Structure 1
Amino acid sequence: MESQSMAHPGSPGWRGPTAQCMAGTKPKVPAPGPELSSVGPEEHSDAHSSLSSNSSMTTRELQEYWRTRKCRWRHVKLLFEIASARIEERRVSKFVMYQIVVIQTGSFDSNKAILERRYSDFEALQKKLLKTFPEEIEDVVFPKKHLMGNFTEEMISERKLALKEYLSLLYAIRCVRRSREFIDFLTRPELKEAFGCLRAGQYTKALDILVHVVPLQEKLTAHCPVMLVPTLCAMLVCHRDLERPAEAFAVGERALQCLQARESHRYYAPLLDAMARLAYTLGKDFVSLQERLEESQLRKPAPRGFTLKELTVQEYLC
């Protein structure tokens, strides 16, 4: 548990035999790691300058760094299909639910995303985008609403094609496909449900949802991997509380790769702390993780913050 005594092995206050031997020596402060906010081959020269000042990176970290950058240089292209539609009747409403299938083109995609949205969800997206990108989407045609005939087979088929075209046109506009509005439309309902399950202690159900939504969120946020961190940390918390430390540690490593050297990020210190505890439990190298946390706190002292679980349960509250 993250609330263990400060003197317990693996806790922030416990240095361990290796750290105790180093007591009295001035800790080496590594140069800041490369930032991941920039994208594209045009920043290749900036990347070289970042690496030249980051000699503390290991060979594995350098390989992972370049692999990440190369993946981001290649634009991930997604194909949208409206696979089916069904009429749903509730006590006071009746509407059509459209099934959206999102597939990555250019290669075999075993992680295609399947989600459902109703016409009012598309309509809400259009209103938000018109506020943020009025000029960029002025030529994008949004399927009009009809007062009559919305539930006929002919109208549903026509709207399926129109909504598919609408999503494809939006995705073709760079600023739109990278916008919070577009990404939220495709991922937020599922993420909100998953984080609600986490808050309720339904960790297995939360994981089932996250496992399906993470591949799509990863593709949509390739330009800014740090956006994936809260979701990965939620998976870590679920695995850890289900007593699956190995799975929790593996997903935590992915989250750390997304964060890189962003020490100011609100998840950085809590994630390192959780990873050090997991490493100790698994018999892995927890000392280096503990040292990274201590060095970060030496550079920028801060009062006690939230634990990783306390942070994750606050996501998607509204």
Structure 2
Amino acid sequence: MTEPWSMASAEPPGSPRRTGPRAQRTAEAMQEASATGPDFPPLGPEGDSDANAEGSRGPSSSMTTRELQEYWRTEKGCRKPVKLLFEIASARIEERRVAKFVMYQIVVIQTGSFDSNKAILERRYSDFQALQKSLLKTFREEIEDVAFPKKHLVGNFTPAMISERKLAFKEYLSQLYAIRCVRRSREFLDFLTRPELKEAFGCLRAGQYTKALDILVHMMPLQEKLTRHCPLTLVPVLCAVLVCHRELERPLEAFAAGERALERLQAREGHRYYAPLLDAMIRLAYALGKDFVSLQERLEDSQLRKPAPRGFTLKELAVREYLC
């Protein structure tokens, strides 16, 4: 049997490998160069890959400038029936040495069918306030009718006020999600996923692979539901899952996570994770007795089309996510 490393290079498994070709287009570079968080599509109608599925139509070349501006304004603020249901299931008062605040438990469920992967997360009033402030910078016109509960000088910890806030935040999140450009924005996605993902990648950097894996597996269903218009967004998380399973000596689970990541990358050879992921999958496939030759051929073809200097390994890329 031919060993997997002999076809792509003379280096044995475990040695640094070359990454795939760098992104050739400016748009890809802007999307993929950042190592501080997941990849997001551009905002607005240009980044809406499922626009047709939502009943929108493309602009006509015969439209005047004013008509085009009105068209995109309508598209940007387009609302649709909510597919995710936001509930504020409970709230608790947390007291620390220098602060006292209320933590609201958010439950996110997919509507229309039984959802066995409901997401549960906690946010405090200041988190909602930070979301509102950031959204106003970009979507002031779109969210002008979305009510945000004001902060009071006194009475913030009374049962009546907490109950009122629970209902207000439920309505607030539902209304934001109903606005297409808002629910696809980095601000909205970060509010719902970034704190937990940042903690998970911090655990990965610290070698706490079991804890990191628990958080990642818990958050993946929610991230997937929120980013179906952009499959690439889930790639860093899937690769982190692969790394955790591999470090915990679970090659089958690691390989399964890698397959899911490769499905999302497909022909995106310029993506920063493409070559490191293929390299990791070749080694896993060889160790598991699976077909590593086809994976090796993909890597070699990619490197022949656009040779690139040696870059990061998959683990080195993963530990650089969510550093800020």
Class of the TM-score when normalised by the shorter of the 2 chains: 0.7 to 0.9
2:28 paired residue number: none
What is the TM-score normalised by the length of structure 1?
0.79
Whole-Å separation in 2 of the counterparts to 1:177 and 1:40: 14
Q: Does 1:214 align with 2:210?
A: no
Q: Does 1:225 align with 2:231?
A: yes
- The C-alpha deviation readout for 1:103-162, integer Å capped at 9, x for no partner, is 000011000000000000000000000011111111111110100000000000000000
Candidates 154, 160, 163, aligned match of 1:154: 160
Whole-Å separation in 2 of the counterparts to 1:147 and 1:76: 34
Whole-Å separation in 2 of the counterparts to 1:114 and 1:84: 11
The alpha-carbon deviation at position 166 of structure 1 amounts to 0.3
What is the TM-score normalised by the length of structure 2?
0.78
Candidates 263, 282, 297, aligned match of 2:303: 297
C-alpha contact (below 8 Å) 1:141/1:166 kept by paired residues: yes
Whole-Å separation in 2 of the counterparts to 1:174 and 1:243: 41
Inter-CA distance 187–123: structure 2 relative to 1 (3 Å threshold): same
- Structure 2: which amino acid aligns with 1:286? F
C-alpha contact (below 8 Å) 2:90/2:105 kept by paired residues: yes
- The C-alpha deviation readout for 1:64-83, integer Å capped at 9, x for no partner, is xxxxxxxxxx9981000000
Q: Choose 255-264 or 93-102, whichever is displaced more.
A: 255-264
Whole-Å separation in 1 of the counterparts to 2:193 and 2:163: 24
Whole-Å separation in 1 of the counterparts to 2:48 and 2:290: 33
CA RMSD of aligned residues (A): 2.2
The alpha-carbon deviation at position 191 of structure 1 amounts to 0.2
The alpha-carbon deviation at position 300 of structure 1 amounts to 1.1
1:316 paired residue number: 322
The alpha-carbon deviation at position 38 of structure 1 amounts to 6.1
Instruction: State the identity %.
Output: 82
C-alpha contact (below 8 Å) 2:95/2:101 kept by paired residues: yes
Candidates 165, 182, 197, aligned match of 2:188: 182
Whole-Å separation in 2 of the counterparts to 1:286 and 1:38: 35
1:126 paired residue number: 132
Whole-Å separation in 2 of the counterparts to 1:178 and 1:98: 23
Whole-Å separation in 2 of the counterparts to 1:231 and 1:215: 11
Question: Larger relative CO (CA 8 A, sep 6+): 1 or 2?
Answer: 2
Q: Does 1:241 align with 2:253?
A: no
- Structure 2: which amino acid aligns with 1:39? S
> Equivalent residue of 1:124, what SS?
helix
Candidates 143, 146, 149, aligned match of 1:140: 146
Superposition misfits of 4+ residues, deviation over 3 angstroms: 7-12
Whole-Å separation in 2 of the counterparts to 1:160 and 1:85: 8
2:63 paired residue number: none
1:66 paired residue number: none
Candidates 8, 13, 33, aligned match of 2:9: 13
C-alpha contact (below 8 Å) 1:8/1:14 kept by paired residues: no
C-alpha contact (below 8 Å) 2:83/2:110 kept by paired residues: yes
Matches within 5 A, 1:12-91: 12-13=8-9, 39-40=49-50, 42=52, 77-91=83-97
1:3 paired residue number: none
> Equivalent residue of 2:87, what SS?
strand
Whole-Å separation in 1 of the counterparts to 2:141 and 2:273: 36
C-alpha contact (below 8 Å) 1:10/1:280 kept by paired residues: no
- Structure 1: which amino acid aligns with 2:276? P
Aligned residues: 264
The alpha-carbon deviation at position 39 of structure 1 amounts to 2.5
- Structure 2: which amino acid aligns with 1:13? S
Whole-Å separation in 2 of the counterparts to 1:15 and 1:259: 25
Whole-Å separation in 2 of the counterparts to 1:123 and 1:246: 43
> Equivalent residue of 1:10, what SS?
helix
Whole-Å separation in 2 of the counterparts to 1:117 and 1:238: 27
Name stretches of at least 5 consecutive residues in structure 1 with no aligned partner.
Answer: 1-6, 17-35, 44-73
C-alpha contact (below 8 Å) 1:76/1:104 kept by paired residues: no
- Structure 2: which amino acid aligns with 1:10? W
Name stretches of at least 5 consecutive residues in structure 2 with no aligned partner.
Answer: 13-40, 42-46, 54-79
Whole-Å separation in 2 of the counterparts to 1:39 and 1:75: 18
